[in-house]
Structure 1
Amino acid sequence: MAGEPFWRRKTLEQMTVAEWESLCDGCGLCCLVRFEDEDTGEVIPTRVHCKLFDPAACRCSNYPERHRYVPDCIKLTPHNIEALEWMPKSCAYRRLHEGRDLADWHPLLTGDPESVHRAGVSVRGQTVSEAALADPEDALDFAAWDLVIERGDE
Structure 2
Amino acid sequence: MSELTRAQWEKLCDGCGRCCLVKLEDEDSGEIYHTSVGCDLLDGETGRCRDYAGRQTKVPDCVRLTVKALAGIAWLPPTCAYRLRAEDKPLPDWHPLLTGDPASVHTAGVSVRGRVAAHEQEVETDDLPNFIVLWPKRWPRRKKGRAA
Q: Is the TM-score greater than 0.5?
A: yes
- The equivalent residue for 1:65 is 54
- 1:96–1:102: 8 Å Cα contact kept in structure 2? yes
- 2:45–2:112: 8 Å Cα contact kept in structure 1? no
What is the correspondence of 1:78-97 to structure 2 with a 5 Å cutoff?
78-97=67-86
What is the correspondence of 1:38-57 to structure 2 with a 5 Å cutoff?
38-57=27-46
RMSD: 1.3
TM-score (norm 2): 0.91
What is the CA–CA distance in structure 2 between the aligned matches of 1:74 and 1:55, rounded to whole Å?
A: 18
TM-score (norm 1): 0.88
**What percentage of residue pairs aligned between the two structures are identical?**
46
Larger proportion of helix? 1
Deviations, residues 54-77 of structure 1 (Å, cap 9, x unaligned): 112210000111111100001000
User: Post-superposition, which runs of at least 4 consecutive aligned residues in structure 1 deviate over 6 A?
Assistant: none
Q: Which runs of 5+ in 1 are unaligned?
A: 1-11
Letter aligned with residue 74 of structure 1: V
What is the CA–CA distance in structure 2 between the aligned matches of 1:137 and 1:122, rounded to whole Å?
A: 26
SS in 2 for 1:13: coil
1:31 equivalenced with 2:20 (yes/no): yes
Letter aligned with residue 120 of structure 2: E
Query: How many aligned positions are there?
Result: 142
- The equivalent residue for 1:129 is 119
Deviations, residues 13-54 of structure 1 (Å, cap 9, x unaligned): 111100000001010100000011111100011010000111
Q: Which runs of 5+ in 2 are unaligned?
A: 143-147
What is the correspondence of 1:103-118 to structure 2 with a 5 Å cutoff?
103-118=92-107
